[in-house]
Amino acid sequence: MPSARTRVVVTRRLPAQVEARMQELFDVELNAEDRPMTAEELAGAMSRADVLVPTITDRIDARLLAQAGPDLRLIANYGAGFDHIDVATALQRGIMVSNTPGVLAEDTADMAMALILAVPRRVPEGALMMQRGEWEGWSPTALMGHRIAGKKLGILGLGRIGRAVARRARPFGLEIHYHNRRRVHPDIEAELGATWWESLDQMLARIDILSINVPHTPSTFHLMNARRLKLMKRDAYIVNTARGEVIDENALTRMLRAGELGGAGLDVYEHGHDVNPRLRDLPNVLLLPHMSSATFEGRLEMGEKVIINIKTFADGHRPPDQVVPAML
């Protein structure tokens, strides 16, 4: 390294404790304004850094990587997902990429379970009625939803988060079904009381609630397309706390508006914060601003992982959370 202290550029505001610790260890450039960097600003940051610390709002593609300076050797992503980074091109240019896996499984599963409970019981509609002062008292037929116990929960992706969702769902009386590319170990199935479906299509036709817990990859883009959405029951619900690109958002919107699905709880969207406006006025849809991982504890643990990855790299070793080609 050309300087005694590793030069680190952070693209967004991080928790104060994390930023303070980084300043103790490295030569850090922080983003006090906490606004997403433009492509030009990212290119500038990459030209002067040894380590870049981006977040999901930063699209680091081949064009940007071509503008990286000679000293950039690590992109230490603040987050578990890395589909916003062209990892293959980075590796070709000798730039390692690390992430923060395993930190947010419990927090994300909490939010998935909250949506699983809230949407079938019409909690958003009830809360809005109270906020608007429209409630006129109890009625035997008002805001009737669906009981959770006894329903079939389909989990698309039984990784860390999917398993955490299953552990929360079982005590509520939900039957656990799942689809993975590979069947999990029988001991895990026994622990979760989970039934594996080799065919996603067959599982979709039988479940009452779908929880999406897969990453965004070329093979999962629009995995839930119009054809698969139509396989689901008309009163089924979809919960997505993973990646918005997994669902064809336009097809989902059309079906919800036509009454061909029971409802949806969404924390992520196909086009980032540019949410389909036709989703916003649906009473059977609960929209959240990508907040599944937003806990104080989780954000601090993410920062600790980033610091460990940078410190290990600065000491001349491979970061413990390096993204490797097998993960792509």
Q: Which domains occur in the chain, in start order?
A: 7-103+295-327 (3.40.50.720), 105-287 (3.40.50.720)
The share of the chain scoring above pLDDT 70, in percent, equals 98
Residue 23: name the closest of 58, 44, 53 by CA: 53
Q: In what order do the strands lie in the sheet with 152-156?
A: 194-196, 175-179, 152-156, 209-212, 237-240, 263-266, 285-287
Asked if pLDDT for residue 3 goes beyond 70, the answer is: no
Structure tokens at 257: 């508006």
Q: What are the tokens at 248?
A: 């064809």
Residues 8 and 28: beta-carbon distance below 8 Å: yes
Q: Model confidence at 2, in pLDDT bands (50, 70, 90)? A: very low
Q: Using a cut of 0.85, tell me whether the model's pTM lies above it.
A: yes
Residue 178 has pLDDT above 50, yes or no: yes
Find out whether 118 and 124 touch, Cβ atoms under 8 Å.
Answer: yes
Mean residue pLDDT of the chain comes to 95
pLDDT of residue 327: 59
The answer, yes or no, to whether residue 257 has pLDDT greater than 80, is yes
pLDDT tens for 210-246 read 999 999 889 999 999 999 999 999 999 999 999 999 9
pLDDT at 316 over 70: yes
Q: Give the model confidence (pLDDT) of 261-306 as tens digits.
A: 999 999 999 998 999 999 999 999 999 999 999 999 999 999 999 9
- Residue 325 pLDDT: 74
pLDDT of 79 strictly over 90: yes
Residue 328: pLDDT over 80: no
Is it the case that residue 100 has pLDDT exceeding 70? yes
pLDDT band at 137; cut points 50, 70, 90: very high
HEC secondary structure over the chain = CCCCCCEEEECCCCCHHHHHHHHHHCEEECCCCCCCCCHHHHHHHHHHCCEEECCCCCCECHHHHCCCCCCCCEEECCCCCCCCECHHHHHHCCCEEECCCCCCHHHHHHHHHHHHHHCCCCHHHHHHHHHCCCCCCCCCCCCCCCCCCCCEEEEECCCHHHHHHHHHHHHHCCEEEEECCCCCCHHHHHHHCEEECCCHHHHHCCCCEEEECCCCCCCCCCCECHHHHHHCCCCCEEEECCCHHHECHHHHHHHHHCCCCCEEEECCCCCCCCCCHHHHCCCCEEECCCCCCCCHHHHHHHHHHHHHHHHHHHCCCCCCCECCHHHC
Percent of the chain with pLDDT over 90: 94
State the pairing for strand pair 7-10/51-53.
Answer: parallel
Whether pLDDT at 203 is above 60: yes
Return all residues near 5 (Cβ < 8 A) that are at least 6 apart.
25, 26, 27
274 Rama sector, left if φ>0, alpha if ψ -120 to 50, beta otherwise: beta
Question: Which pair of tokens denotes residue 24?
Answer: 């103790």
Closest C-alpha to 157, from 276, 82, 50, 241: 241
